[in-house]
């Protein structure tokens, strides 16, 4: 029924978002504005992060590490959330766009997690006196990185990408148990990493002068993720088209012989 509707009238909102061909059409106009917005946000954020914000009274200038560390750590978890939602889309509706979204998000998540771990250890050395400690939050974030790498490896191991998407969706949902563990690890094991100080019921405990650059940088990182995710999805759809065209070509040639 919906197919006849699509043919007769203009496509509905969901069709426009979810149809791979139409997606390629409208997302083409989004890439450049998103990239420009990302650059602008980074310019403002970096200005606030360096000359525009005070040094910490205890940590000095090393506090500026926070403006990279916190956004990448937040994105490492947000990206897993995107993958979980896409995984549900894959398993419930078997939608190819959900597959593509899952596949494009995995390497990005791995990169942001690695960045969070790296900046964290760079920040930990001058303030805590150690690059690495087997603290609850660090260990659970390291597990998250391994899960991301496992998912990337799994994508590469499958020949049949349709089957891969659904099997990986199952694994992604199993691995989602780790996300609340990361979130609450600072409350359960109070060893080294500080507890939450931005999203709290009684309001943030950071001074406004530091909260503003932190939020701008978080916005910049989020837009960066959106841009890269969009480009990744477009590339993946393009790759699949090339592959199916090649298959069709090979089949036609084989038939001619």
Partner 1 sequence: MSAIGAIIGRELRLSLRQGGDLLTLLVLFIGIGVLVPLAVGPDRALLARIAPGIIWIAALLAQLLIHDRLFRADHEDGSLLAFRHAGLPLEAIVGAKLVAHWITGGLPVIIAAPLMGVMLGLEPMTALAAVGVLVIGTPALTALVAISAAITVGLRRGGLVAPVLILPLTLPVLIFGTGALSASAMAAQGQAVLLLGALSLVSVAMAPFAAAAALKISGE
Residues 86-105 that bind partner 1 (CB under 8 A): 91
| DSSP bridge pairs for 60 | 56
Does 146 bind partner 1 (CB under 8 A)? Our answer is yes
Count Cβ atoms within 10 A of the Cβ of residue 33 and give its class: 0-12 exposed, 13-18 middle, 19 or more buried.
exposed
Does 174 bind partner 1 (CB under 8 A)? Our answer is yes
| Residue 189 falls in which region: left (phi positive, over 0), alpha (psi -120 to 50) or beta | beta
Does 139 bind partner 1 (CB under 8 A)? Our answer is yes
- Say how many residues touch partner 1, by CB under 8 A: 24
CB of 172 to partner 1, least distance (A): 11
* Angle between helices 136-157 and 161-175 in degrees, nearest 10: 170
For partner 1, the closer CB: 26 or 188: 188
User: Per DSSP, which regions of 10-144 are E strands?
Assistant: none
For partner 1, the closer CB: 170 or 196: 170
Q: What share of the chain is helix, strand, coil (3-state, %, to 5)?
A: 80, 0, 20
Does 175 bind partner 1 (CB under 8 A)? Our answer is yes
For partner 1, the closer CB: 166 or 183: 166
* Binding stretches for partner 1 (CB under 8 A): 91, 139, 143-144, 146-147, 149-150, 153-154, 157-158, 163, 166-168, 170-171, 173-175, 177-178, 181
């Amino acid at each position: 029924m919906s197919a006849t509707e699509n043919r007769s009238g203009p496509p509905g909102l969901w069709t426009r978002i979810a149809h791979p061909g139409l997606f390629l059409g409208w997302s083409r106009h989004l890439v450049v504005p998103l990239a420009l917005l990302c650059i602008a946000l980074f310019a403002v954020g970096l200005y606030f992060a360096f000359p525009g914000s005070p040094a910490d009274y205890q940590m000095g200038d090393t506090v500026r590490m926070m403006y990279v560390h916190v956004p990448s750590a937040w994105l490492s978890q947000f990206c897993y959330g995107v993958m979980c939602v896409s995984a549900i889309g894959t398993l419930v509706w078997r939608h190819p766009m959900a597959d593509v979204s899952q596949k494009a998000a995995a390497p990005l998540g791995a990169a942001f997690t690695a960045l969070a771990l790296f900046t964290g250890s760079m920040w930990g050395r001058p303030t805590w006196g150690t690059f690495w400690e087997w603290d609850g939050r660090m260990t659970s974030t390291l597990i998250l990185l391994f899960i991301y790498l496992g998912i990337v490896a799994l994508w590469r191991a499958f020949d049949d990408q349709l089957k891969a998407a659904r099997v990986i969706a199952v694994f992604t949902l199993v691995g989602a148990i780790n996300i609340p563990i990361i979130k609450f690890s600072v409350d359960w094991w109070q060893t080294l990493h500080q507890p939450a100080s931005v999203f709290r019921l009684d309001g943030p405990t950071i001074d406004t002068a530091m909260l503003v650059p932190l939020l701008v940088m978080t916005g910049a990182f989020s837009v960066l993720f959106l841009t890269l995710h969009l480009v990744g999805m477009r590339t993946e759809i393009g790759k699949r088209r090339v592959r199916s065209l090649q298959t069709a070509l090979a089949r036609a040639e084989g038939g001619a012989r």
